[in-house]
Structure 1
Amino acid sequence: MYNHIVRSKVRATFERINEGDYLTMVDSLAPQFEYHFHGDHALGGHRVTRDAMIRWWERATRLLPGVRFDVQEVLVSGRPWRTRVAVRSRVSGALPDGERYENTVFQFLTLAWGRVTDVETMEDLQVLERALDVVEAAGVSEAAAAPITDA
């Protein structure tokens, strides 16, 4: 039953993000958390504060506006004091050149008492970096910016 509730909450959070409400995800973070998005690119980096996560989401929505997540699979293991979640989803959206951005995202989360304490995000970096190059070529220099971190 607990695993079913967690799966439902994860799916609901992605639906809220698809509706433009990324604060639902930010609000699910524990007071002390780590978020690591692999790669040295504008969306990569390591964050540990709410402010950095909000700035990251603001950037993500500027660089890839209208991007949507189609959650394919949510695996849940553990108890409420230490729950591990693996999410596989397809991410897609329009690029400025008329092409579509399509990628697979894997996220690994740790929860403690319903709050996210750790997130690790991985996707095909070649596909993502090509998309960011297209966005930069369309005049959005932020697509080539350094990752947002807490430093």
Structure 2
Amino acid sequence: MLYSYIVKKEIRKTFDHVNNHRWDEAVKAVAPHVHHRVSGAHALGGERHNKEDLRRWFERLGRVLPNLHLTINNIWVTGLPWRTTVFAEWDATATLLNGDASYVNRGLHVFTLRWGRVYALEEFQDSQEAARGLAAQAAAGLKEAVAEPIESSQKRSQRARAF
């Protein structure tokens, strides 16, 4: 029970770091060869396989949705320190550059931890709402909002070998 409490506290701190654009703190507990995946065909979608690309992704998140705010609704922790799964249910809101305050997204993060380090992070969200918000940001002049996803070269080379 104490372990679960500590993990929940650390996950909440990480979301707070994201809300406040503290990227170094947000990736501090991430393993060097993390697997990060976000669904959707948009500038924030795709897969990353290392800590540096994940940090670049966070930086882009801060640029394309600068006032994004994530609110944690629930956190569930299962497993032991050497293999822990964490589910974090959240709501996201943002006011877009055109003044539209209707950006609302709801999602779930699934973290895989080993001894307190994040080895995998998968984000499930309304990818159509994310794409809509990013398209509105691009229409207001923020071209990075419709840029190609940041993906690790490992993923690109795997995809190239598949064809």
Counting strand residues as a fraction of each chain, which structure ranks higher? 1
Structure showing greater Rg: 2
Partner of residue 148, structure 1: 150
SS state at 1:27 partner: coil
Identity percentage over the alignment?
36
Partner of residue 119, structure 2: 117
Unaligned runs of 5+ in 1: none
TM-score normalized with structure 2 length: 0.89
Partner of residue 5, structure 1: 6
Partner of residue 28, structure 1: 29
TM-score normalized with structure 1 length: 0.96
Q: 2:136 aligns with which of 124, 134, 137?
A: 134
Q: What number of residue pairs does the alignment pair up?
A: 151
Runs of 4+ in 1 over 4 A off after TM superposition: none
Unaligned runs of 5+ in 2: 154-163
Partner of residue 60, structure 1: 61
Cα distance, 1:43 vs. partner? 0.1
Range with bigger deviation, 107-116 or 42-51: 42-51
Q: What are the Cα deviations for residues 16-62 of structure 1, in whole angstroms up to 9, with x where unaligned?
A: 22222122221111122100111111000110122211211111111
Q: What are the Cα deviations for residues 77-104 of structure 1, in whole angstroms up to 9, with x where unaligned?
A: 0000000000011111110111122111
Range with bigger deviation, 19-28 or 39-48: 19-28
Q: Distance in 2 between matches of 1:137 and 1:25?
A: 29
Q: Distance in 2 between matches of 1:137 and 1:94?
A: 14
Partner of residue 104, structure 1: 106
Q: Distance in 1 between matches of 2:56 and 2:118?
A: 18
SS state at 2:152 partner: coil
